Amino acid sequence: MAASLAALASLSSSLLFKRSLSLTPFRTLPRLTCSVSSSLEFNITFAPKPKPASSKPDPDSLADSGQQLFIPWIVRGDDGKLKLQSHPPARLLHEMAKADTKAKANKKKKDTAAKQRVPAAEPKHSKAARRFYNENFRESQRLSKVLAAAGVASRRSSEQLIFDGKVTVNGSVCNTPQTPVDPGRDIIYVNGRRLPKKLPPKVYLALNKPKGYICAAGENKSVLGLFDDYLKSWDKRNPGTPRPRLFTVGRLDVATTGLIVVTNDGDFAQSISHPSANLTKEYIAVIEGSVSKRNLIAISEGTVIDGVHCTPDSVELLPQQPEMSRSRLRIVVHEGRNHEVRELVKKAGLEIHSLKRVRIGGFRLPTNLGLGTHMELRQGDLSALGWKTKKVAATAGR
């Protein structure tokens, strides 16, 4: 205690008797006085406490008088002695600036890390969880789409059944094809027959179409008749599951053979058959007679079909085969208009003996797939066809 009083006395003496230091007079609050001798005293003044808003202004206060409040800093100088100054120590200012710079650097680092953070993969759910979601939270579908998926009829024919008042939903006749329904919850009748609650799974098939078959449903010698055995054995392979209503994706004329896709998924069919898909289709055309360079140029220049000028992506004369005397052309198109390849060849002055489609998009007809037989398409095959939005479940009969 005696040492502290002596230091304060020394500082007070240097401040009070040094002529070069002038102190601005300021208002003082309760004074702490340490009496070292009869002639020395050291004063410490604190900032005034804020007054309540309701109190009246004090005419003697420093704020009202325009005088600046003086807050002293007592620091130890380079000579080891205490001194009084009006600004914070340099060391304190340096530490504050360093801390502020470090905080800004950390914030910038966190922001950069947040931007570069890779989103976590979508968690995989168990079969029980997916089943519970499908039974309780799955979204409703349009009535016409549900009827088509259940195999009642095509989308357009299903809409006509609804317009004719032959469809009831939960006991009431429904005349709007866009009505949202859930076959798992709603009771749907078509022509007096109850629609099954469980819809058939999606089926994707590739068929090597033989000559003489048409692609329309319900006609004589329809390509869909080639799947009769497949559908007859459906119940044995998939007990309790409704049969799918199959249809072709696009068409091949009656005289053309080769690759055609058959499915019961309307979204898939619309996706790969729409012009925006821009899928190329490759054909092998067997030509009667010889093919000259002039014929190839004429085919590559294109022709007008249904008022639209169509040009092929490529035309190639294939090498002659020993067992085949006729010439063969490889023609690749992307528009897929009605009889497009036949019209291109006809415009060039040539006659087609036979025409076969061997590729759609990135999927090529397997060489071991015989005429009139089919195969189930896997996920890689569908991706080659441009279908990337859904994964194929374990298809029936596999």
Is pTM, for the whole model, over 0.75? no
Give every CB contact of residue 66 below 8 A, 6+ residues apart in sequence: none
How much is the pLDDT for 36?
Answer: 44
What percent of the chain is modeled with pLDDT above 70?
A: 73
Per residue in 179-236, pLDDT tens? 988 887 889 999 888 888 888 888 999 999 999 999 887 767 899 999 989 988 888 8
Per-10-residue mean pLDDT for the chain, 398 residues long? 53 48 48 46 50 50 47 71 74 75 72 63 70 64 84 83 91 90 87 84 93 83 90 85 87 93 87 82 94 93 89 92 89 87 93 95 93 93 79 46
Catalytic residue among 253, 265, 267, 306: 253
CA distance 204 to 130: 23
Active site residue 267: no
CA distance 341 to 312: 8
Helices 293-301 + 340-347 axis angle, to 10:
130
How much is the pLDDT for 263?
Answer: 92
Which domains, and CATH codes, for the chain?
1-17+25-47+66-91 (no CATH), 139-194 (3.10.290.10), 201-277+371-398 (3.30.70.580), 280-360 (3.30.70.1560)
Per residue in 52-80, pLDDT tens? 555 455 544 444 444 445 556 777 777 77
Residue 205: exposed, middle, or buried by beta-carbon count in 10 A (0-12, 13-18, 19+)? buried
Q: Cα–Cα–Cα angle for 386, 390, 395, nearest 5°?
A: 100
Per residue in 100-117, pLDDT tens? 777 777 777 777 766 666
